[in-house]
Every structure is written in structure tokens, then in C-alpha cells.
Amino acid sequence: MLTALKVLITRPTKKAQALTLLLNKQDITCVSQPLFDYQPLADHQQSEKLLTNAEVIIFVSVAAVEFAHASVRATHWQYQHIIAVGKATKAALQTLALENIHCPAQENSEGVLALSLLNENIANKNITIVRGNGGREHLAFELNQRGATVCYLESYQRVWRTFPKDIDQQWYQQQINCIVVTSNALLEQLVQLTQATNVAAENDATKYWRNHCIWLVASKRIANHAKQLGLVNVIQSDGANEQAISTTLQTIIEKKR
């Protein structure tokens, strides 16, 4: 491993820019290479139905907020409670002049499910989960088990970028030695790009990504999946926000000194 970190950031453009700016201020070298872009998915009619007919609306990401607002302005949403899965999502809702936003300390589905308002009697209550296309089903399943009527509003979709077949070799030559991974979808895509399809096709770069590169992941769930996929050097940060990732990188740097 090199003594200095060179971090690959694969988040969508806006989040990649924010993290790159923070890391540059801390003299951490990074390469920004988003793996996918966002585009709208739900139409106005569907969005209006699900944003004006729910007791509880849950937003899982900043993009969920932005694309929902683009389809139906936030001033027209009707609900009793609004939940943001993380602090960044809460901030995005606050920029739309929304108040009294519930946000768990643990920024994931388990944290949301622990909120007191979802542990009261929610039988027959309409709950809308605003997210992108696909994703984890745990939150909806548990809320259904508690008697709620849950609907998804998939306000946006991920469009994966196409890369040259040797992109892993390019990153290897750039001396990338740490990759930030904030979702299982990103992890799986990165493994496809960096791992050989069979042992006979393995090369020095393939072995390097699997055995030596630091995979900085945003949750225990992603860490477990990374290890299941055969990645060796997996380090977990305390969340997916910029500060949590930055703090973990600083800890890695201190240990390498």
C-alpha cells in the first residue's frame, strides 16, 4: 500500500463534489468518478396521489426530496408527519421551508423503525416511502407488519454510466488505494468493474482491488456484503455523510503514520 491515501469517490455528481471539496481542504487526494446519474421517474399524477394522501411521508435521500418537489411542489404536500432517513435529507426538506421533520440518530431503515411515531398504533395508516427505483425492502416490510398501508413513490431512477473495459486498470495506474462505497448497489457495480469473471482472467490489478485496496463502506450491512463478495480490506464509517467519511479517512491516515 502507498503511504498516502488516494481516494476514489463514486457517488452521484453533487454528493461527489461536496465530498471532494471537504477532502481537498484536508489535503486528502481524491478522484471523483460518479458511477450513475439521476433522472425523473414518477409522473405528476402518481406523485400528487402519493404526496397528498398519506399520514406519514418518508424520504430516503436528498434526490428523493428534490425529484418529488420537482414533480409536485412541497407546498402542496399533505401529511401528518414527515420523516427524513438522514441529516442531509432533513436539510433538503428544510430548504423547502418544511418544519417538524423527524430524523433518526441512526441514519438507516432500522433507525426510522425505532422512531416513536412509528411504534404507536399505525394500523391502516397510509405511509408513502419516497425513493429511487429499487432498493432495500426492509422498511416497507416492517411497516406492513405493523399494520400500515405502505406505497412507494419512486421519484427518480439511477442510470448507470458505461465505462471502458479497462477502467479498473486505469484506476490501478492512477494509484487509487481507497474506494468510498455508500450503497450495496454501488458496491456490486464496483465489484463488476474491478473483479475478473474467473480465476484464469485474474491479473495484478484484480488481486490488488480484492486483497489490498481499502474499501470504505458506509454501514455494517454494506461491510458484510463486501466481505461476502471476497473483499479483504473493508473499513466501516459511521454513516454515509461527508463528515463521517472524512473522519474515518483521517483515522486511517493516522494509523498509517
> What's the confidence (pLDDT) of residue 167?
94
Which of 67, 68, 60 minimizes the C-alpha distance to 37?
Answer: 67
Backbone angles phi, psi at 189, to 5 degrees: -65, -40
CA 255 to chain centre: 26
> What's the confidence (pLDDT) of residue 198?
65
Place of cell 474515518: 248
The per-residue pLDDT string of the chain (257 residues; one tens digit each, 9 = 90 and over) reads 446 899 999 999 988 999 999 999 999 999 999 999 999 999 999 999 999 999 999 999 999 999 999 999 999 999 999 999 999 899 999 999 999 999 999 989 999 999 999 998 999 999 999 999 988 899 999 999 999 999 999 999 999 999 999 999 999 999 999 999 999 999 999 999 998 766 667 788 899 999 999 999 999 999 999 999 999 999 999 988 899 999 999 999 888 77
Instruction: Compute CA distances 7 → 147, 168, 175, whole Å.
Output: 44, 14, 9
Instruction: Compute CA distances 134 → 34, 71, 129, 177, whole Å.
Output: 19, 19, 12, 30
> What's the confidence (pLDDT) of residue 3?
63
Residue 150 grid coordinates: 405502505
Residue 19 grid coordinates: 465530498
- H-helix or E-strand containing 7? strand 6-9
> What's the confidence (pLDDT) of residue 61?
93
The dihedral formed by the CA atoms of 37, 43, 46 and 49, expressed in degrees to the nearest 10: 100
Q: How long is the chain? A: 257
Instruction: Report which DSSP code applies to 166.
Output: T
Residue 124, classified by CB atoms within 10 Å of its CB into exposed (0-12), middle (13-18) or buried (19+), is exposed
> In this structure, which topology does domain 38-159 adopt according to CATH?
Rossmann fold (3.40.50)
> What's the confidence (pLDDT) of residue 69?
97
Domain 6-35+162-256 has CATH 2.60.120.260: no
Map 193-257 to HEC letters: HHCCCCHHHCCHHHHHHHHCCEEEECCHHHHHHHHHCCCCCEEECCCCCHHHHHHHHHHHHHHHC
Instruction: Compute CA distances 106 → 88, 110, 120, 154, 213, whole Å.
Output: 13, 7, 19, 23, 28
The whole-angstrom separation of Cα 182 and Cα 247 is: 15
> What's the confidence (pLDDT) of residue 1?
44
Residues of the chain with CATH 3.40.50.10090: 6-35+162-256, 38-159
